[in-house]
């Protein structure tokens, strides 16, 4: 189920997009950015890498969307609250939400966020 996570100013959407593009996997970061040609619609895949393995071994953690539902909306795919989903899926959604919150707070041009150095998620 596609739901609104945050509604923000378009300048914040574009700032987050720019951060994710400049910190993509190709550039040594954790993000994959997919843009719908001709539209200001973007899907950002957030990857994780193992703490004790090679840093180039990525696993998709989840995704969020910019401007998908409306301009300025950051949305995420969540399970139906009445669906008894796998617990790990709920942790992945929580992790993606944490990444979005960090990007909104700290994802400015010229910054580098060390996501692997962040404290573990709290449920």
pLDDT digits (tens, 9 = 90+) for 11-35: 999 999 999 999 998 988 889 999 9
Q: Residue 68 has what pLDDT?
A: 95
What residues contact 105, with CB distance under 8 A and at least 6 apart? none
Cβ contacts of 39 within 8 Å, gap of 6 or more? 67
The pTM is what? 0.84
pLDDT for the residue numbered 18: 97
Residue ranges of the chain with pLDDT lower than 70?
49-57, 79-89, 116-123
Give the helix/strand (H/E) hosting 101. helix 87-106
pLDDT at position 94 is: 87
pLDDT of 123 = 47
- What pLDDT does 7 receive? 97
The three-point CA angle 49-116-99 to 5° equals 95
> In the chain, where are the structural domains located?
2-108
**What residues contact residue 117 under an 8 Å CB cut-off, 6+ apart?**
none
């Amino acid at each position: 189920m596609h739901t609104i996570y945050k509604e923000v100013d378009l300048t914040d959407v574009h700032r987050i997009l720019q951060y994710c593009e400049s910190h993509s996997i190709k550039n040594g970061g954790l993000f994959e950015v997919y843009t719908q040609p001709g539209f200001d619609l973007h899907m950002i895949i957030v990857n994780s890498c193992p703490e004790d393995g090679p840093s180039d071994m990525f696993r998709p953690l989840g995704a969020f969307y910019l401007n998908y539902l409306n301009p300025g909306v950051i949305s995420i795919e969540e399970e139906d609250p009445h669906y008894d989903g796998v617990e790990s899926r709920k942790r992945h959604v929580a992790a993606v939400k944490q990444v979005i919150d960090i990007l909104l707070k700290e994802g400015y041009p010229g910054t580098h966020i060390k996501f692997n150095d962040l404290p573990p998620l709290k449920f």
